[in-house]
Amino acid sequence: MNSNAPASSNVLRVVELHFKYAPSPEKLKAGGQTKSLSAWTVQNIDLTVRAGEIVCILGASGCGKSTLLHLIAGLLSPGQGTIELLSGGAQQGRIGYIFQQDALFPWRTVHSNIMLAADLLPDLSHTEADQLIKQYLRTFNLNETILKQYPSELSGGMRQRVSIIQSLMFNPTLFLLDEPFSALDFFTKLKLETEFYQLVKEKNKAAIIVTHDIEESVAMADRVLLMNEDGRLSKEFKIDLGQDRSPQSARGNPAFASYYNDIWAELKAVIGP
């Protein structure tokens, strides 16, 4: 397992990944899927993500972004190619998956939702978990009183914060976020972007964020990848907006607009006028 230094800081290595959905009998009968039967949903994906890095994947809806996340999360099995989660340590790299709409159980209190990790991981004790919860609540500026509430009593932004805390409890090396902030209002979105950005950088986690929001991707990402309609990653943009940037300060950086324009020009070419 021991390899050289730069490789050991990688948390994910995807090589030559191809995938297509099995045709469903109903759709076949209806003749609805005939065209895309032979086509890959995602193809030729080569992707390496390092610890501490945020990668945004941009593309039109239906291009296969979410499918790629599902593949990396292990919810789907690759047709061809390999997906390797590398944690560097002995423990296998765990994934934290954040959905566009939170996946908190409505019948559990916030506390009990966050405690999911303690239910599932044998090596995490409840006292240990409770200490972690307190610490993470402070990270996200949340009051301890919300622990007793049910998810339905919280705002969208709060629920998304709780979701992130819930997945943090599993101590993941890699976060996968599927349009995580798109259902939030602008100010809540800015706040959450900043909080999440700092979390990834401070704890040296890694994150892949799937989005269709160019602005968000430039503000958050170290790299922005464009995904084509045919499921290929067509273009990579390295975003360099300074070492100690935040998603908020990045928006004020003069280089921000030129990144934005470059990506928009490229994306326009991909998705058409």
Nearer to other proteins, 159 or 223 (CB): 159
DSSP state of 38: S
Distance between start and end Cα atoms, the chain: 48
Q: Which residues contact 194 (CB under 8 A, 6 or more apart)?
A: 246, 247, 248
Q: Are strands 80-85 and 10-19 parallel, antiparallel or unpaired?
A: antiparallel
Give the shortest CB-208-to-other proteins separation in angstroms. Answer: 13
Given a contact cutoff of 8 angstroms between Cβ atoms, the answer to whether 99 and 167 are in contact is: no
Smallest distance, Å, CB 144 to other proteins? 19
Q: How far is CA 224 from CA 83, 167, 184, 201, 212, in A?
A: 20, 24, 22, 17, 11
Question: 108 phi and psi, to 5 degrees?
Answer: -110, 145
Cβ closer to other proteins: 70 or 232? 70
Q: Which is nearer to other proteins, 106 or 272 (CB)?
A: 106
Q: How far is the CB of 108 from other proteins (least distance, A)?
A: 8
Distance in Å, CB of 132 to other proteins, minimum = 16
Report in angstroms how near the CB of residue 242 gets to other proteins at its nearest: 33
Q: Are 255 and 245 a contacting pair, CB within 8 Å?
A: no
Q: How far is the CB of 117 from other proteins (least distance, A)?
A: 7
Q: Residues 45-74, buried b or exposed e (16+ Cβ, 10 A)?
A: bebbbbbbbbbbbbbbeebbbbbbbbbbbe
> Which CB atom, from 107 or from 138, has the smaller least distance to other proteins?
107
For other proteins, the closer CB: 98 or 250: 98
Question: Contact residues for other proteins (CB under 8 A)?
Answer: 70, 73-75, 94-97, 99, 101, 103, 105-109, 116-117, 119-120, 150, 152-153, 170
By beta-carbon proximity to other proteins, the closer residue of 21 and 99 is: 99
3-state class (DSSP) for residue 244: coil
